[in-house]
Structure 1
Amino acid sequence: MEPGRNCTMANFTSVNCTAGNVTTAPPLPSLPLIFATAFPESVPQVVYLLTVLVLCLLGNTAVIGTVWLDERLHEPPNFLLSGLCAADILYDLLIVPVMLNVLFTRHYTFGQTACDIMAFFHILCTFFSMMMTGAISFERYHFICHPMQYHNKFTGRRIWGLLSVCLSGATLTACCMLPFLRSDPPFFYPAPMYCVSHAILSGVVGWIFFMAAGSLATYSQVRIYLEARRHLRAIQAGNISGHSAEDFRKKIKSAVTTTAVVAIWWLSEFPLITVETILGAAPHVTSVGWQVTHRVSRFAYFISTCSNPIVFAFRNRQFRHAFKKLLRPQAVHSFN
């Protein structure tokens, strides 16, 4: 096949196929069953991506708007949650439309600039989400295990500082990694349907961020579990009762919610980063099984972008009441 020929799904398996100064990765076999990009196999994928995008936009926007408008929700965990919501919205808005474009048109039409933008924000949003997940878990750990020190450590200024540090770190990492991810022309990968180079550096740095955030989140959850078990035993023995017991039960509820968020994050992030690291270290691996695994892991990651903040927020009774109040016509005025 001569260079310059359009990259339709029929010839995506050619390494010489180009479209808008974008070439494919090494030859890949056609994906089977519902993972194929041709109609009608693409219909379930389109429905899934549209559902994820709508849920992400509506759910995360509702969380941010409610926290912003209700002063009673101006608390450290809600500010951290809003940062995570913003990253999820930006990620889905940039990545999902490109994947939908490929499924609808059956070819990739974007050039070098679009690939650079996708690579930059892919790294920025992913790494920022990792750090926010770790920060939320660490904040809940102090809230439950060290209540006497909590209000001194997690002030409003420090929370904004933490958000700034996480955002600056993710931005700096994305800027530093972008030159190593670029190729001329850039590669388009049919399996995950995005245009980002699988440089081994990306996998290594991704694992560093993932293990740092994952270790912090897991450590926090283990300590919360041990503290909860100790208090529950004291409650059962009658050593803690009344208001103290009820207050701790509320804390346990928030801890269970955080645990669910971390579990969803692990289950959605770990498969993707593992598959991409393996394929980055061994780009010659092009079997059907690996390509299907890559597509599935990419789709699974979107679950965390639309479920984590929603699960975290809507298990909070105060948040639910504030959100219902926001839906009323006089809601905005009542917050002033």
Structure 2
Amino acid sequence: MKTDNQTLIAQFTFQGFSSFQEHQLTLFVVFLALYLLTLVGNVIIVTIISLDRRLHTPMYFFLSVLSASETVYTLVIIPRMLSSLVGLGQPISLGACATQMFFFITLAINNCFLLTAMGYDRYVAICNPLRYSLIMNKSICAQLVGGALSIGLLVAIIQISSVFRLPFCGTEVAHYFCDIRPVMKLSCAKNDMHDIMTFVISSLVILVPMGLVFISYVLIISSILRIASAEGRKKAFATCASHLTVVIIHYGCASIAYLKPKSENSRDEDQLISVTYTVITPLLNPMVYTLRNKEVQHALRRVMGRKLS
């Protein structure tokens, strides 16, 4: 019976924001505006860092990789969500659903560990400034980026293999993209072990990088407090402020979404939380780093000045 159901079901449909039927056009306009701002902001950051040699440092290398990752991350989810809001949404095949989930998991975990790498970079810059260029060389930076992506790929393969081996009886995903829990709810089989595995993996890929960032900032703050001059302390903290802001928002949203009990919130509340980490959080990265970071602002003026000249 399970085999028959699994064979018959070849596609899913998203319920999306069906409970907000009268506000669909408003949501479309708002999400489209946020998506365009995210794309423009991330493209500007990647372009500025590649064109301005003063930003060819490990910190901005990690930032450009994070911006590129965030761009692909939103591209995987938001266009299909926007089309469904204006009635153009189409059913998604199991293969396409698995592909969307694969890229979503890979890039989400990649972003978590990229933020950890950026935290390590700030730790070395403030706690070991004399050895910074030696420790944070090109090879180490490439290894940190490759490691973040490899962890994302490995976890995505494990999760996809686990979820899409299940027999499915339902076809309506109570979400606007193929996230793990909504898809698993469509399974005919009892999936307690899959739920436990998903929770353990989510805990590890959120708590481990978050813990490493926390340790980095404990050491950073202790070093900053030992700086004699108030101006020196202010300057040292300013180099970390943008990263710390993004870290708090990113890990905060991820923790709320994946570390809470699965039955704690309603579907609408779950979707609201999902909007924060699929639409709003990717926008905050370019906003925080352009509005709060003077080096990026100065680089933008220099690049714009050269283009105008």
TM-score, scaled relative to structure 1: 0.76
Question: Between Structure 1 and Structure 2, which shows a larger proportion of helix residues?
Answer: 2
Residue 186 of structure 2 corresponds to: none
**One-letter amino acid of the counterpart of residue 235, structure 1:** S
Q: 2: CA distance between counterparts of 1:215 and 1:141?
A: 14
Partner of 1:91: 73
DSSP-derived class of the 1:94 partner: helix
Report whether the alignment pairs 1:45 with 2:30.
no
What number of residue pairs does the alignment pair up?
A: 288
Greater relative CO (CA pairs within 8 A, separation 6+): 2
* Residue equivalent to 2:137: 155
Deviation at 1:106, TM superposition (A): 7.6
Which of 200, 218, 225 is the equivalent residue of 2:221? 225
Consecutive unaligned residues of structure 1, counting only runs of 5 or more, are 1-15, 237-244, 280-284
**What residue identity is the alignment partner of 1:327?**
M
Partner Cα distance (1:189, 1:93) in 2: 22
Q: 1:186 and 1:143, CA in 2 relative to 1: closer, same or farther beyond 3 A?
A: farther
Instruction: Tell me whether 35-44 or 260-269 shows the greater mean CA deviation.
Output: 35-44
5 Å-filtered alignment, 1:151-190, equals: 151-182=133-164, 183-185=166-168, 190=173
Deviates more, 1:68-77 or 1:162-171: 162-171
Q: After superposition, what is the alpha-carbon deviation per residue over 1:15-56, rounded to whole angstroms, capped at 9, x for unaligned?
A: x9xx9823479xxxx99xxx6445322234323321221121
**Does residue 297 of the first structure (1) align with residue 273 of the second (2)?**
yes
| Cα deviation, residue 80, structure 1 | 0.7
- Specify the alignment match of 1:312 in structure 2: 289
Asked if the contact 2:69–2:111 (Cα under 8 Å) also holds between the matched residues in 1, the reply is: yes
2:59 pairs with 1:63: no
2:171 and 2:72 mapped to 1: Cα distance?
21
Change (3 A) 1:217 1:44: farther
CA contact (8 A) 1:24 1:188 kept: yes
- Taking the aligned partners of 1:193 and 1:224, their CA distance within structure 2 comes to 40
**Cα distance between partner residues in 2 of 1:104 and 1:82:** 33
Answer with 1 or 2: which has the greater Rg.
1
Match of 2:298 among 306, 310, 321: 321
SS class of match (1:41): helix
Say what the alpha-carbon RMSD is for the aligned residues.
Answer: 2.8
Distance 1:329 1:235 in 2: 37
Give 1:192 deviation, angstroms. Answer: 3.1
Q: Which runs of 5+ in 2 are unaligned?
A: 182-193
1:281-308 CA distance string (max 9 Å, x none): xxxx4x8x52122111101113221112
| 1:210-249 deviations in Å (ceiling 9; x for gaps) | 0111101122222222222232xx225xxxxxxxx55x53
1:84-139 deviation line (CA, Å, top 9, x unaligned) = 11111111001111222332228651111210111100110110000011111121
**Alpha-carbon distance, 1:185 to partner:** 4.8
Q: How does 1:230-249 map to 2 (within 5 A)?
A: 230-231=226-227, 234-235=228-229, 245-246=231-232, 249=234
Q: Is the 8 A contact 1:116 1:178 kept in 2?
A: yes
Q: 1:87 to 1:188 in 2, by over 3 A?
A: farther
TM-score (norm 2): 0.83
Cα distance, 1:38–1:307 mapped onto 2, change above 3 Å = closer
Alignment partner, residue 21 of structure 1: 10
91-100 or 319-328, which deviates more: 319-328
Distance 2:71 2:169 in 1: 25
CA–CA separation in structure 2 for the residues paired with 1:107 and 1:196: 17
- Match for 1:94: what amino acid? V
Matches within 5 A, 1:3-18: none
